[in-house]
Structure 1
Amino acid sequence: MSEITKLKETILKEYPRLTLDDKLKFSCHCGLKCFNSCCADVNIFLTPYDVMRMRKHLGISSQEFIDEYTLLPIDRNQKYPVVVLKMSETETKRCPFVDETKGCTIYEDRPWACRMYPVGLASPKESEANAEEEFYFIMEEMPCEGFGEEQTWTIRQWIENQGIEPYNEMGTHYKDLVMHEKMENIPEFDPKKIEMFFMACYNLDTFRRFVFESRFLQKFEVDEDTQKRIRERDEELLKFGFEWLKFSLFGLPTMKIKSYVLEKKKIEMGLAV
């Protein structure tokens, strides 16, 4: 069993389940002795939206960000590729974006996990026999003086204060993909599907070239307004990529193939009338 799976099972079985209206006493600031301590030697999984925001903040390409700042953990229990922030290779293994005195140097575009801390969100799998809703929990594994501060929040107030809403909105689109019931029916991704998934989710520069410089638009019906939006806005391209993956991986009707392409395929298969 992987460490990720073990942690999830522990959270589901042992952690108190909180709602948006439950309260949290916490504050993090440079006056704490442990300031920035939680930003070292830690596994921070990056969402596609995290990668998009961080690389734009740095002004570099998706590929440059992936090569310089991420790792791709190998877990045979993980069907689709995930991305982890690469810690520095120093003895402290500090986050590459943390300055000892200034703190986070990409604070405005820091990842979802960093914004949420010390609040976590668990998403149990749903089934007809045992449907469970998402719940929040508090992570207190590491010594943190922030829990001794007097400031009190509800979980709802914390989420609003940390600017998490756009991350959650994009996260909903991503979860619609990776938690889709058809994902369970895929035993494992072959190399081609892994490449497709990674490109559409994490390497948006390459995905944009794929859409506009290959035969993609000759095959799929994509109206001019959508083309303009995905050409100009990474957020729109990311959502478009999720829909394309649902079509390509699960066969869902989220994309429309042009009629002449379908007719040509029927002829090739000897199905034309």
Structure 2
Amino acid sequence: MTGPISNTLLAAFQQARWPSLGPGESFRFACQDECMGRCCHSIKIFLDPWDVECMARYLQISSQQFIQQYCRIDFDHRYCWPYVLLREAETGSCSFMLPGGRCSIYPVRSRNCRTYPLARAVRFTFNDNDDCTVEEKYFLLPRQPFCFGFNGLQEWNLHSWLADSGLAEYNEKADLYLSVIQYALEKLNLEQWFSPTLARFFFPIIFLPEVLRQKFGLTGEKPDHQEFYIRRMRALRLLLSDLSTSLQHPEGHPEQKALNQTSLVERLRQLLSG
């Protein structure tokens, strides 16, 4: 769903092909001036919804403006699910790379950027009540020819790297989102009924919080960014569940009747208003 690297990590997780990095294990890494910015060139940088929000706020623009100015929107060929990438980085230098290779938005760099040279693989498991448990593993990625960071002398362990890079919040927000996708695939048979039209409907819920706030009159300080993100992810899962029921179950099913009585937009309003 989020690109070839994700598929590679998933396979590594399932097959234990790469040794995972345990809490007590250490590694050495420090970015070097002679290779600064090489990792931000000709690369697919996929952005989570929380990445987009944080970057847009840092630049003091809306998420919609950020995506229009800096990103490319695409849809998964198999599931039609929408995703966002940094546009310029795919074929050249990242839009946010300064002369000398440093990052102009380093405090709000993406989750993927702040994780490197580690990689995180996640497995979501749903019980009979559809509650989700999260299992994670970290890997030290193989050395890349363009990166001299492994020649650095600074020593890290998993705890110190996660703390220094500020990953806890980004991982938490990513898990809320990715678990919804996994739930839809595993429990709702998303592949059987999701469409480009539905993807366009769900795109603002995923990536455009200001559009939703404006539409539903939620432009004040509350709910704050954190709470509104949680509400959006909850709404995303519930609306997908509603649609799955309405499209896959016969007429007369209670969920079908409820969906007929309340439009998706009105249902979304109720969910986001708390």
Match of 2:138 in 1: 136
Paired letter, 1:133:
E
Inter-CA distance 69–141: structure 2 relative to 1 (3 Å threshold): farther
Structure 2 residue 68 is matched with structure 1 residue 67: yes
Inter-CA distance 53–118: structure 2 relative to 1 (3 Å threshold): same
Per the TM alignment, residue 179 of structure 1 is displaced from its structure 2 partner at its CA by: 2.0
Kindly indicate whether the alpha-carbon contact (under 8 Å) linking 1:55 and 1:62 is maintained by their aligned counterparts in 2: yes
Residue from 136, 153, 156 that aligns with 1:153: 156
How far apart, in 2, do the equivalents of 1:138 and 1:73 lie?
29
Kindly indicate whether the alpha-carbon contact (under 8 Å) linking 1:45 and 1:82 is maintained by their aligned counterparts in 2: yes
Residue from 206, 215, 228 that aligns with 1:210: 215
Per the TM alignment, residue 200 of structure 1 is displaced from its structure 2 partner at its CA by: 1.0
Query: What's the secondary structure of 2:74's corresponding residue?
Result: coil
Query: What's the secondary structure of 1:160's corresponding residue?
Result: helix
Residue from 219, 225, 229 that aligns with 2:222: 229
Task: Give the root-mean-square deviation of aligned CA atoms.
Answer: 3.1
How far apart, in 2, do the equivalents of 1:196 and 1:73 lie?
14
Match of 1:201 in 2: 206
Paired letter, 1:241:
R
Inter-CA distance 42–241: structure 2 relative to 1 (3 Å threshold): same
Higher Cα Rg, which structure: 1
How far apart, in 2, do the equivalents of 1:97 and 1:228 lie?
29
More displaced, 34-43 or 68-77? 68-77
Query: What's the secondary structure of 2:135's corresponding residue?
Result: coil
Per the TM alignment, residue 88 of structure 1 is displaced from its structure 2 partner at its CA by: 5.3
Kindly indicate whether the alpha-carbon contact (under 8 Å) linking 1:200 and 1:238 is maintained by their aligned counterparts in 2: no
Match of 2:233 in 1: 242
Per the TM alignment, residue 209 of structure 1 is displaced from its structure 2 partner at its CA by: 2.1
Query: What's the secondary structure of 2:114's corresponding residue?
Result: helix
Query: What's the secondary structure of 1:98's corresponding residue?
Result: coil
Match of 1:56 in 2: 57
How far apart, in 1, do the equivalents of 2:152 and 2:6 lie?
32
TM-score (normalised: structure 1): 0.75
Kindly indicate whether the alpha-carbon contact (under 8 Å) linking 1:80 and 1:197 is maintained by their aligned counterparts in 2: no
Per the TM alignment, residue 142 of structure 1 is displaced from its structure 2 partner at its CA by: 2.2
The C-alpha deviation readout for 1:129-177, integer Å capped at 9, x for no partner, is: xx99321112235222111112111111101011112112222322331
Instruction: Describe how 1:20-31 pairs up with structure 2 within 5 A.
Output: 20-30=23-33
Kindly indicate whether the alpha-carbon contact (under 8 Å) linking 2:180 and 2:233 is maintained by their aligned counterparts in 1: yes
Per the TM alignment, residue 54 of structure 1 is displaced from its structure 2 partner at its CA by: 0.4
Inter-CA distance 125–87: structure 2 relative to 1 (3 Å threshold): same
Question: What runs of 5+ residues in structure 2 fail to find an aligned partner?
Answer: 128-132, 244-257, 263-274
Paired letter, 2:99:
E
Instruction: Describe how 1:1-273 pairs up with structure 2 within 5 A.
Output: 3=4, 7-8=8-9, 11-12=12-13, 13=15, 14-30=17-33, 33-87=34-88, 93-101=92-100, 103-124=102-123, 126=125, 133-140=135-142, 142-143=144-145, 144-180=147-183, 184-186=188-190, 187-212=192-217, 229-230=222-223, 233-251=224-242, 265=261
Kindly indicate whether the alpha-carbon contact (under 8 Å) linking 2:76 and 2:82 is maintained by their aligned counterparts in 1: no
Question: What runs of 5+ residues in structure 1 fail to find an aligned partner?
Answer: 214-226, 253-261, 267-273
Which 4+ residue blocks in structure 1 deviate beyond 6 angstroms? none
More displaced, 42-51 or 2-11? 2-11
Kindly indicate whether the alpha-carbon contact (under 8 Å) linking 2:40 and 2:89 is maintained by their aligned counterparts in 1: no
Kindly indicate whether the alpha-carbon contact (under 8 Å) linking 1:38 and 1:142 is maintained by their aligned counterparts in 2: no
Per the TM alignment, residue 7 of structure 1 is displaced from its structure 2 partner at its CA by: 2.8
The number of aligned residues is: 236
- Aligned-pair identity in percent equals 28
Inter-CA distance 162–132: structure 2 relative to 1 (3 Å threshold): closer
Per the TM alignment, residue 188 of structure 1 is displaced from its structure 2 partner at its CA by: 4.1
Match of 1:221 in 2: none
Kindly indicate whether the alpha-carbon contact (under 8 Å) linking 1:119 and 1:139 is maintained by their aligned counterparts in 2: yes
Kindly indicate whether the alpha-carbon contact (under 8 Å) linking 2:71 and 2:85 is maintained by their aligned counterparts in 1: yes
Query: What's the secondary structure of 2:75's corresponding residue?
Result: coil
Paired letter, 1:84:
L
The C-alpha deviation readout for 1:28-67, integer Å capped at 9, x for no partner, is: 143xx11111111111110000000001111112211111
